[in-house]
Amino acid sequence: MKRLRILFVWTSVSLLLQFGAYSLLNYQVGKVMEPQGVSSEPITPKLKTTIPSSDIEAVQISYNKDYLAYLENGTLRIFNFKKEKVVFESTSANDRTLGVLTYQWLPDRDTLLYFYADKNSSSGNTQTTELYTLELPGSDEDTEPDNRFNQIIKFPAGGKIEELVVSPSTNLMYFTVKKGSTEQLMEVDVMKNVRTLNQSGESIANMVASDQHGTLYIDSKVGSTQTVIAFNAGKRKLISRNNYDKILGIKAGKVYLGEVKNNELVKIKSITDRSDMKDSPSLKTEWTGSIPFDNARVLVGAKSQVIVYNNQMAYIVTAGQLKEVQLSGDQNYVSDDGAELIQLSQQGTSTLVELKPLNK
């Protein structure tokens, strides 16, 4: 009996030690997979600051709402809200058709991707464009941003990048290059492989990338035929053949389409985001009504709210209910999570920037 008790005690101790080791391992993995300090609720600071420039465009706010990216006379600048100063600016190419062609913040960290081309990058019919990753430190730190060269991508000289979307979970990036009447849809993977996805004569009006499967959804037009298409693992799937349907956005495993007639959004539909998407899936109606859609920006926020906005008004559809928010300022932008309003007002040679929650 004594030997059995000793055996039982040592077995129990061994199991407890194993349990502790597994718990520690799970904790460490959890810290990597879900970084500490990341809240499930969108960050919505309220502040006012002045940027010493009056010619600001293409404004984008970072994930943590502590950096603002913008173009000024073709130069990319990053403004730190806490330090109230510009902490990065790209090299000017002295040509508005070159320099920084486009950029995009990653949706889960303060990291910016941008494409850069200079006057010496073109050779014949080909333009060599450099892709960079700009990693920003904590906004209260004095560390310089880490500006990393990633790779060289070649496309037609003088081509303009019109769309850029990123799927961080799958390390896939998609962008469109347009020159004249020709357009290319290109994919870049983690191994720096570049592929062209679109068909001959196909143009892309809008696109979004799945944050779960890397599936790309596009508004496709060939001749007079408009469709919504999904790309995954090299396969094309028809989502909608309705000429009025357009991609609105994607969030939390749901893809949102809008039916637009006579520059009015009259219906919001959805499908489940899948890796094995089938042709012509059934579309679920989420909302019907009428929202002005001419020259509007559209996004799907962190709480699956569909936001359609222009410079005067934001229309927010949440769970089938519409709310209208009056906007002020010379320029208005909404953060990618749909939570923050970035309001710009010109003041002489400077710009007043005001951040505030959109839906309050």
pLDDT in tens, 146-204: 999 999 998 888 889 999 999 888 889 999 999 988 899 999 998 899 999 999 899 99
**Of the candidates 76, 75, 82, 86, the residue with the CA atom closest to the CA atom of residue 51:** 86
Contacts of 259 (CB under 8 A, 6+ apart): 242, 244, 245, 246, 265, 266, 267, 268, 269
Contacts of 242 (CB under 8 A, 6+ apart): 259
Which strands form 182-188's sheet, in the order they lie side by side? 160-167, 172-179, 182-188, 194-196
Count of C-beta atoms within a 10 Å radius of residue 64: 17
Q: What pLDDT shows up at residue 5? A: 53
Q: What percent of the chain has pLDDT over 70?
A: 86
Question: For residue 324, is pLDDT > 80?
Answer: yes
Instruction: Give me the half-sphere count of Cα atoms (radius 13 Å) on the Cβ side of residue 75.
Output: 15
Classify strands 126-135 and 111-117 as parallel, antiparallel or unpaired: antiparallel
**pLDDT (average), residues 115-136:** 85
**Of the candidates 258, 261, 217, the residue with the CA atom closest to the CA atom of residue 239:** 217
105 pLDDT band, cuts 50/70/90, is very high
Q: What pLDDT shows up at residue 204? A: 95
Q: What pLDDT shows up at residue 190? A: 84
**pLDDT (average), residues 61-74:** 94
Write down the pTM of the prediction: 0.85
- Of residues 128 and 86, the one with the higher pLDDT is 86
Q: How far apart are the first and last CA of the chain?
A: 71
1 pLDDT band, cuts 50/70/90, is low
Q: What pLDDT shows up at residue 118? A: 78
Question: For residue 206, is pLDDT > 80?
Answer: yes
Question: For residue 23, is pLDDT > 80?
Answer: no
Question: For residue 33, is pLDDT > 60?
Answer: no
Highest-pLDDT range among 91-95, 116-120, 285-289? 285-289
Instruction: Give me the half-sphere count of Cα atoms (radius 13 Å) on the Cβ side of residue 225.
Output: 9
SS (H, E, C) the chain: CHHHHHHHHHHHHHHHHHHHHHHHHHHHHHHHHCCCCCCCCCCCCCEEEEECCCCCEEEEECCCCCEEEEEECCEEEEEECCCCEEEEECCCCCCCCCEEEEEEECCCCCEEEEEEECCCCEECCEEEEEEEEEECCCCCCCCCCEEEEEEEEEEECCCEEEEEEEECCCCEEEEEEEECCEEEEEEECCCCCEEECCCCCEEEEEEEECCCCCCEEEEEEECCEEEEEEEECCEEEEEECCCCEEEEEEECCEEEEEEEECCEEEEEEEEECCCCCCCCCCCEEEEEEEEECCCCEEEECCCCCEEEECCCEEEEEECCEEEEEECCCCEEEECCCCCEEEEEEEECCEEEEEEEECCC
Q: What pLDDT shows up at residue 32? A: 33
Q: What percent of the chain has pLDDT over 90?
A: 69
**pLDDT (average), residues 252-260:** 96
Q: Round the average pLDDT of the chain to a whole number and report it.
A: 87
Q: Are 170 and 114 in contact (CB under 8 A)?
A: no
Q: What are phi and psi of 268, to 5 degrees?
A: -115, 130
Question: For residue 317, is pLDDT > 70?
Answer: yes
Contacts of 226 (CB under 8 A, 6+ apart): 219, 220, 243, 245
Residue burial 89-127, b: 16+ Cβ < 10 Å; e: rest: ebeebeeeebbbbbbbbeeeebbbbbbbbbeebbeeeeb
- Of residues 169 and 343, the one with the higher pLDDT is 343
Q: What pLDDT shows up at residue 164? A: 96
Contacts of 331 (CB under 8 A, 6+ apart): 56, 59, 311, 343, 344
Q: What pLDDT shows up at residue 232? A: 87
- Of residues 190 and 132, the one with the higher pLDDT is 132
Q: What pLDDT shows up at residue 293? A: 97
Least confident of 36-50, 64-78, 134-148, 234-248: 36-50
Q: What pLDDT shows up at residue 135? A: 97
**pLDDT (average), residues 39-65:** 89
CA angle 208, 213, 215 (to 5 degrees): 40
Cα–Cα distances (Å) from 287 to 62, 218, 283, in that order, read 30, 21, 12
- Of residues 70 and 20, the one with the higher pLDDT is 70
